[in-house]
Structure 1
């Protein structure tokens, strides 16, 4: 399930938006100000998939929060949609120039908001794939650097473990049979037994630590990563 952080000081808007997002299949956590948002972001083991950020907030405003996110190497790639009562062109340009992925003015329709979120998430996923980055919650694989990290900590994998994880990430949420994994990772001409897949999955889970729980066993079929 994809997660959304909603930073909005208006309690009614925050609760209604969170309710709509949860009905649309997202896990949503709401915050009334920048302080509570930063506290949760810094304390969390995994990052949200999306941030909905109001500009007019008590204390630190949304544009300041956005700038800090874009200046931080761990948070710079999190998609951000600005939510604000300001609909002027200048405010929209400022938000986009600060690195917002989209902008929606209040009052907004829930259907439009959900559509915008899905569109931004699709663009973000496409951009990450082009850069060779594959992520799932607190797990990141960098294909170009051939590295894997869990909660920003490096994990040493063998070549086949890396390729197995990469294929699982590319097909996150899909059930993959052992034969399909054998073909994709070991190659069509590989003469080993499907037990080889089980052994490598077990080793991969151990090396990933708690993140290894993302790899699910589908009885009598194979494996999948994620829900």
Structure 2
């Protein structure tokens, strides 16, 4: 499973949903922002390893966002736009964009460009693999989870669930989504298996097990 987190910044809900589906299918964690202003407010919470930024947005467009973020950050950035004119592409690259994708695009093209930018950007340094959310610290390279400075003894699936929910805190995942992402598309498990793993995970987390919240009729989320 990919350890990279990608932020999608686009004011079109359907476009965000589509890109999220492509990326999560490949194991990436995804954060959504509706515009540049919203994205800036989220960056300090869970810094992503890549930004996918729509050019045409209200409040703060993609080019303005790029100017702002590149002053203080080296996070790689892919522009996404329905405008495919050469001037727009050149402008995006001059502003620090690592790539420029024209809508509409094929899933394979998007994923190939995402992988290419991540590879180029982090080939000489490791992608950050430590996540801190409240009292929880997860190290994906060491495959460890520490809660209130106490290591948790987790199975592979429990670790996968905790990592996914913590990286996307506040987002609700259905049982079916958890099965597809953590167990894989070829899984033969039932949704009840997810409930069993969640129950065991909460027990191991002690009083902090309540951080994994049940959203009745839908699924689970990390509630910090």
TM-score by length of 1: 0.57
Count of matched residue positions in the alignment of Structure 1 and Structure 2: 152
The answer on whether the counterparts of 1:81 and 1:102 sit within 8 Å (CA) in structure 2 is: yes
Q: Which residue of 1 aligns with 2:173?
A: none
Distance in 1, matches of 2:38 and 2:149, equals: 26
Q: Which residue of 2 aligns with 1:67?
A: 67
1:102, distance to aligned residue in structure 2 (A)? 0.8
1:128, distance to aligned residue in structure 2 (A)? 3.2
1:4, distance to aligned residue in structure 2 (A)? 0.8
Q: Which residue of 2 aligns with 1:21?
A: 23
1:68-103 Cα shifts (integer Å, max 9, x gaps): 11101xxx2211100001101111011101101111
Q: Which residue of 2 aligns with 1:136?
A: 129
- Tell me the secondary structure at the aligned position of residue 100 of structure 1: coil
Distance in 1, matches of 2:149 and 2:64, equals: 32
The answer on whether the counterparts of 2:129 and 2:141 sit within 8 Å (CA) in structure 1 is: no
TM-score by length of 2: 0.57
Unaligned stretches of 5+ in structure 1?
Answer: 140-168, 176-204, 219-225
1:14, distance to aligned residue in structure 2 (A)? 1.3
The answer on whether the counterparts of 2:53 and 2:78 sit within 8 Å (CA) in structure 1 is: yes
Q: Which residue of 1 aligns with 2:33?
A: 31
The answer on whether the counterparts of 2:50 and 2:75 sit within 8 Å (CA) in structure 1 is: yes
1:146-199 Cα shifts (integer Å, max 9, x gaps): xxxxxxxxxxxxxxxxxxxxxxx9xx7478xxxxxxxxxxxxxxxxxxxxxxxx
Compared CA separation, residues 210 and 70, structure 1 to 2 (3 A): farther
Q: Give 4+ residue runs of structure 1 displaced > 6 Å after superposition.
A: 209-213, 215-218
Q: Does 1:51 align with 2:41?
A: no
Compared CA separation, residues 68 and 15, structure 1 to 2 (3 A): same
1:12, distance to aligned residue in structure 2 (A)? 1.3
Compared CA separation, residues 41 and 174, structure 1 to 2 (3 A): closer
Q: Which residue of 2 aligns with 1:87?
A: 84
Compared CA separation, residues 2 and 89, structure 1 to 2 (3 A): same
Distance in 1, matches of 2:40 and 2:63, equals: 14
Q: Does 1:11 align with 2:21?
A: no
Compared CA separation, residues 210 and 106, structure 1 to 2 (3 A): farther
RMSD: 3.3
Distance in 1, matches of 2:153 and 2:122, equals: 22
Question: Which one has a bigger Cα radius of gyration?
Answer: 1
Distance in 1, matches of 2:150 and 2:36, equals: 32
